[in-house]
Structure 1
Amino acid sequence: MTHRTSRHVMIAATGAVLALGLTACAGTTDASSGERLENGDLSTVSIGIHSGWDEGIAVSHLFATILEDEGYTVTSQEADPGVVYTGMAGGDFDVNFDMWLPETHGDYLDQYGDDLEDLGVWYDDAKLTVAVDEDSPITSLSELAAASDELGGRIVGIEAGAGLTRIVQDSVVPAYGLEDMDLLISSTPAMLAELKGATDAGEHIAVTLWRPHWAYDAYPVRDLEDPEGALGEAEEIHSTGRTDFGVDYPTLASWIEAFRMTDEQLFSLENVMFNEDGGSDPAASARQWLEANPTFVDDLKAAAQA
């Protein structure tokens, strides 16, 4: 207990330091002096993006591309979710497209909810998972402890500040007696590199993962069953704005509230951005996807007006 509490304090301190750095690069919005577009919105928009969460990265760059075409000046910054929500509460970011509720980011909502505006749900079947290679003989989290040796005694995780990491530590580990396994806290890119390396080599591996994610199409992996329900039920992905977002961006708020993505749309966007292009130029990937889906923006605007 003491070790876990101390690590959380260090994470909070790290987030505070990062937040100071982000304040300098993101800037704050002054609604009273900000320049506005003909549609009534402030002309500049800053997007806070959770580092490593590919669905949020993809959607953020999709919106950035759309908004630039509409005449907005868009800035974005990737950071740990805690830093993003701290920045939004302080006005350093205007919008985020990746709040998982009610579980994964519920603690951030509890902490910062008074300084955020819920802009609606764009995806309603998001799931936290622990996944293994398809050749693994185990099918359930209840078998994971007994299979520890063949998995190298570890579960490969992602960022320390991710809600998935917290839930695995606080719920999954005690529910299934995994205290003797190491939860390797690293980063999403590091986890995916480990996953690729293990599956390419025909080795067994367990990773923390989530749906939607392009890894399910790219690698031979499958989810472990969760009979105790420790990972929670399917969640919704919300877009959130800073305080007074709807006042400062009435048109954009209506677009975001109408925004929805199907599995097919989201997976195809992620595949273009992270598989085909390797994440090297997300803006170009978003442009490529929009060209392949030429009615998407018009459909979004029509839905906002309905």
Structure 2
Amino acid sequence: MKRNHTPRNHTPRTSTPRTRTRRTLAAAVLAVATAVGLSACMPPGYYGASGTVDNGDQKSMHVVVFNGWDEDTAASYLWKHVLEQKGYDVQLTNSDVAPAYTGLASGDYDVVFDTWLPNTHKEYMDTYGKDLTDLGAWNEQASLELAVPEYSDVDSIDELKAHASEFGNKIIGIEPAAGETKVVSDQVIPQYGLDGMDFITSSTPAMLADLKASIAKKEDVVVTLWRPHWAYDAFPIKDLKDPKGALGKNEEIHTIAKKDFEQDFPQASKWMEDFSMDSDTLYSLENALVNSGAKASEYPAITEKWASEHQDFVDSLTSGK
């Protein structure tokens, strides 16, 4: 910034009205030129009210993304692309499930796109629900599953116990804090008498790597999985029947926001309330991002390319209310 200062031993010269007029006019011209130059470099909506975009929403949005939940990665990068085209600044932060809900309840995060209801994330909604806003379901085709390769002779969970040795006496799970992990450990294993099998939990990428390696060797493996997930397009796998209903009924994937989200983002909240994405469309974006071998730093460019190939769908996300 240029500072106005008077040199030492300098006697100020009195400005005449004409001099002041010239200076005022020059300053005005400079201000206009600067504004025009800056506006060419700024995203749409930048010149709304301070800290807002043109529709009145807060400009900055902080999205939390569950580690290892690929549908969450896809939905979050999709909305980051859509909102940034509208002039928002969108930050994505990866987190495990438990601290993500703590951060939403405290207002450190604004929104998450991957809450499974009524079962998987029930515990978190029971704990933090009074400090959260449910913007509704965007996918109603969700379900928790135990999956095996298509060539496996086992077709139902109630057959696993008798064939446990064929699976190395192991069930390969995902993150220890995941809702599905709790459902499998608290419901599936005791109801089907699978206590003799080791329930291995680590991470979703580790589970998928184990699944891929086992299929490459034509070995039996049983993993905790869920629909929608790109693995169903990528691998020859099948879901085990669940005659006891231990995994719960089909679920919905909800967008959950902090308590005052609708006050800070009245327009975006309406868009997200109307958000809907079927599983085939979701698989397509998941495959492009997560199953492509790309680095996370490449995800924005991949999402932009995917969006250009699905422009009608992308435009529909903000064409309603």
Determine if the TM-score, normalized by the shorter chain, exceeds 0.5: yes
Structure 1 position 85 matched with structure 2 position 98: no
Whether the 8 Å contact between 1:58 and 1:282 is mirrored in structure 2 is no
2:303 is matched with which residue: 282, 286, 289?
Answer: 286
Whether the 8 Å contact between 1:277 and 1:285 is mirrored in structure 2 is no
What is the deviation of 1:277?
Answer: 4.5
Instruction: Measure, in 1, the Cα distance between the counterparts of 2:51 and 2:95.
Output: 27
Q: Which residue of 1 aligns with 2:168?
A: 152
What is the deviation of 1:297?
Answer: 3.1
What is the deviation of 1:128?
Answer: 0.1
Amino acid aligned to 1:149: S
2:80 is matched with which residue: 64, 74, 81?
Answer: 64
Q: Which residue of 1 aligns with 2:31?
A: none
2:119 is matched with which residue: 80, 83, 103?
Answer: 103
Instruction: Measure, in 1, the Cα distance between the counterparts of 2:71 and 2:182.
Output: 19
Q: Which residue of 2 aligns with 1:188?
A: 204
Q: Which residue of 2 aligns with 1:119?
A: 135
What is the deviation of 1:74?
Answer: 1.0
Structure 1 position 40 matched with structure 2 position 56: yes
Instruction: Measure, in 2, the Cα distance between the counterparts of 1:143 and 1:279.
Output: 39
Q: Which residue of 2 aligns with 1:178?
A: 194
| TM-score of the superposed pair, with normalisation by structure 2 | 0.83
Q: Which residue of 2 aligns with 1:8?
A: none
What is the deviation of 1:272?
Answer: 1.0
What is the deviation of 1:301?
Answer: 2.1
Q: 1:1-306 residue pairs with structure 2 within 5 A? A: 35-278=51-294, 280=296, 281-302=298-319, 304-305=320-321
What root-mean-square deviation, in Å, do the aligned CA atoms of Structure 1 and Structure 2 show?
1.3
Amino acid aligned to 1:271: N
Amino acid aligned to 1:110: D
Whether the 8 Å contact between 1:99 and 1:105 is mirrored in structure 2 is yes
2:214 alignment partner, SS class: helix
Q: Which runs of 5+ in 2 are unaligned?
A: 1-48
Amino acid aligned to 1:143: E
What is the deviation of 1:201?
Answer: 1.0
Instruction: Measure, in 2, the Cα distance between the counterparts of 1:286 and 1:113.
Output: 31
Amino acid aligned to 2:313: F
Instruction: Measure, in 1, the Cα distance between the counterparts of 2:299 and 2:126.
Output: 32
Q: Say which is worse superposed, 292-301 or 192-201, in terms of deviation.
A: 292-301
Instruction: Measure, in 2, the Cα distance between the counterparts of 1:117 and 1:150.
Output: 46
Q: Which runs of 5+ in 1 are unaligned?
A: 1-32
What is the deviation of 1:246?
Answer: 0.3
What is the deviation of 1:293?
Answer: 0.8
Runs of at least 4 residues off by over 4 Å: none
Instruction: Give the 3 Å change call, closer, same or farther, for CA 279–173 of structure 1 in structure 2.
Output: farther
What is the deviation of 1:34?
Answer: 7.0
Instruction: Measure, in 2, the Cα distance between the counterparts of 1:178 and 1:91.
Output: 41
What is the deviation of 1:294?
Answer: 1.2
Whether the 8 Å contact between 2:141 and 2:279 is mirrored in structure 1 is no
Amino acid aligned to 2:221: I
Amino acid aligned to 2:303: A
2:176 alignment partner, SS class: coil
Q: Say which is worse superposed, 196-205 or 281-290, in terms of deviation.
A: 281-290
Instruction: Measure, in 1, the Cα distance between the counterparts of 2:169 and 2:94.
Output: 31
Whether the 8 Å contact between 2:172 and 2:207 is mirrored in structure 1 is yes
Instruction: Measure, in 2, the Cα distance between the counterparts of 1:255 and 1:57.
Output: 19
Instruction: Measure, in 2, the Cα distance between the counterparts of 1:223 and 1:267.
Output: 17
Q: How many residues align?
A: 272
Instruction: Measure, in 2, the Cα distance between the counterparts of 1:287 and 1:36.
Output: 24
Instruction: Measure, in 2, the Cα distance between the counterparts of 1:145 and 1:284.
Output: 46
Instruction: Measure, in 1, the Cα distance between the counterparts of 2:287 and 2:212.
Output: 16
Larger Cα Rg: Structure 1 or Structure 2? 2
Give CA deviations for 1:56-79 in whole Å, capped at 9, x if unaligned: 110001101111111111111111
Give CA deviations for 1:220-248 in whole Å, capped at 9, x if unaligned: 11100000000000001000110110010
Instruction: Measure, in 2, the Cα distance between the counterparts of 1:279 and 1:265.
Output: 21
Whether the 8 Å contact between 2:76 and 2:113 is mirrored in structure 1 is yes
Amino acid aligned to 1:287: E
Instruction: Give the 3 Å change call, closer, same or farther, for CA 231–201 of structure 1 in structure 2.
Output: same
